[in-house]
Amino acid sequence: MKKILVIGSVGQIGSELTMKLRDIYGNDNVVAGIRKTMPSEELANSGPLETVDATNIEQLAQVVKKYNIDTIYNLAALLSAVAEARPQAAWNVGVNGLYNVLEVARENKCSVFFPSSIGAFGSSTPLDNTPQDTIQRPGTMYGVTKVTGELLSDYYYKRFGVDTRGVRFPGIISNLTLPGGGTTDYAVEIYYEAVKNKKFTCPLAKGTFLDMMYMPDALKAAIDIMEADPSKLKHRNCFNVTAMSFDPEIIYKEIKKHIPDFVMEYNVDPVKQSIADSWPNKMDDTAAREEWGWNPKFNLEEMTIDMLNVIGEKFKKGLL
């Protein structure tokens, strides 16, 4: 049985991934690494919890040794728009933090999951059907940390045999924990605003296509890549994975099918727009499909039904 540490377990992905990993591998085998944000009661009471700041290598090594950890999911990061506002902090968490994780993994023979992103591409990348192996010259600090992370992770695999694996996540849409400061956050916020106020102001322009994925598929990607047969992996850090691609008009019309009086207007955020314009419209994820059987379940229609159900229920109970 694996012994897993999730760094960043109260974040958008971490909060759901930690619980899913506990379901699969057993509560006691999955340590939730937290920093400043208080964990939910469910997270705190269902298994071990430790303070883990990836930028503190001694603290990290201590937790890995205490629990005999063999697999680290390193989800600590600042999302793209926040990283533009705080580039030094983004580098520190995204690169120095990952370096510490890889060093501790090397010394303690752990596998490492690294979440890269559509942000690892830039405006010189082919943005339609973006290939697995292509130009990666991002113009954002977020992208710089992701490309550096991909290279470092591949280096640790080739040089030291550390079992590093990762995916390039698109925008992740979920209904438990909100993302914070990402360029793709609008595709989460639009559902909450549709349910709560029937009105949404979109920060990205009409025609801005981006890859997206519903959380259950994102969790599946993170778990399946770590379970994949290593002999089948030609790539490691990191695989393109996508489930759908849409622009604001398409998601707006999809939600409007269920909430006919929902209204959307635009107020373009120039920072987010320029980031989004440099990211793929749609990635080609053939390598992930061929090498470890990636196959997402949710498309826009199915995701929208589920999102509106879950958020609608929370709204009715006064939880939003």
Q: Does 171 bind ligand SER (CB under 6 A)?
A: yes
| Binding flag, residue 281, ligand SER (CB under 6 A) | no
CA distance 66 to 120: 34
Check binding of 162 to ligand SER (CB under 6 A).
no
Cβ-based nearer residue to ligand SER, 72 or 241: 241
- Interface size with ligand SER, residues (CB under 6 A): 11
User: Could you say whether residue 119 binds ligand SER (CB under 6 A)?
Assistant: yes
Minimum gap (Å) between residue 170 Cβ and ligand SER: 7
Residue 99 bears catalytic tag: no
Q: Which amino acid is at 238?
A: C
Looking at the Cβ atoms of 169 and 262, the one nearer to ligand SER is 169
100 binds ligand SER (CB under 6 A): no
Q: Which of 118, 167, 219, 287 binds ligand SER (CB under 6 A)?
A: 118
Nearest approach in angstroms of CB 126 to ligand SER is: 18
State yes or no: residue 166 binds ligand SER (CB under 6 A).
no
Query: For every residue of the chain, which 3-state class applies, written as one string?
Result: CCCEEEECCCCHHHHHHHHHHHHHHCHHHEEEEECCCCCCHHHHHCCCEEECCCCCHHHHHHHHHHCCCCEEEECCCCCHHHHHHCHHHHHHHHHHHHHHHHHHHHHHCCEEEEEEEHHHCCCCCCCEEECCCCCCCCCCHHHHHHHHHHHHHHHHHHHHCCCEEEEEECEEECCCCCCCCCCCCHHHHHHHHHHHCCEEEECCCCCCCEEEEEHHHHHHHHHHHHHCCHHHCCCCCCEECCCEEECHHHHHHHHHCCCCCCEEEECCCHHHHHHHHCCCCEECCHHHHHHHCCCCCCCHHHHHHHHHHHHHHHHHCCCC
Residues 63-92 that bind ligand SER (CB under 6 A): 79-80
Of 90 and 162, nearer to ligand SER (C-beta) is 90
- Rounded to the nearest whole angstrom, what is the least distance from the CB of residue 79 to ligand SER in the complex? 4
Nearer to ligand SER, 63 or 79 (CB): 79
Interface with ligand SER includes 117 (CB under 6 A)? Answer: yes
The Cα–Cα gap between 131 and 239 comes to 10
Contact pick of 183, 237, 240, 242 for ligand SER (by CB under 6 A)? 183
- Which of 12, 164 has the CB closer to ligand SER? 12
Choose the catalytic residue: 142, 156, 186, 214: 142
Q: How far is the CB of 80 from ligand SER (least distance, A)?
A: 3
Q: Residue 242 and residue 240: Cα distance in Å, rounded?
A: 7
Complex with ligand SER: residue 11 or 33, whichever CB lies closer: 11
Q: Which residues bind ligand SER (CB under 6 A)?
A: 79-80, 117-119, 142, 169, 171, 182-184
Which residues are designated catalytic? 142
